[in-house]
Amino acid sequence: MAANEATGIGGVRTIKASEFKAKCLQLMDEVAESGQEIVITKKGKPVSRLMPYREKGKLVFGEDRGLFEIHADIVEPMPAEWFEKDDGDEDDLF
């Protein structure tokens, strides 16, 4: 880390925009190898973030398609007898 670089809140490395411009390719390699991001600042305020590229994970939506089968109407209300009091059987739903 250079003398004018700093570690910001949460341990994130920060660097001035002017220094980033001079060392851009080197910093890109460092981020790719270390996996740690760098925040680029202008006049002490964060303006950009250099972070490693990560492949997106596998899409999980619809992964279970075809594993379940609906055997009844799922839109109609439940039958009234499901809500009636029973004789104390503990296997009730409610």
Task: Please state the domain extents for the chain.
Answer: 6-50
**Residue 51, burial from CB neighbour count under 10 angstroms (0-12, 13-18, 19+):** middle
Q: Give me the pLDDT at residue 83, please.
A: 74
What tens-digit pLDDT sequence spans the chain (94 residues)? 554 466 665 788 999 999 999 999 999 999 999 999 999 999 999 999 999 998 877 777 877 888 888 877 778 887 777 777 666 666 655 5
pLDDT of residue 50: 96
Which CATH code is given to the segment(s) 6-50?
3.40.1620.10
pTM (2 d.p.): 0.54
State residue 3's pLDDT score: 43
What pLDDT does 18 receive?
96
> At 78, which amino acid appears?
M
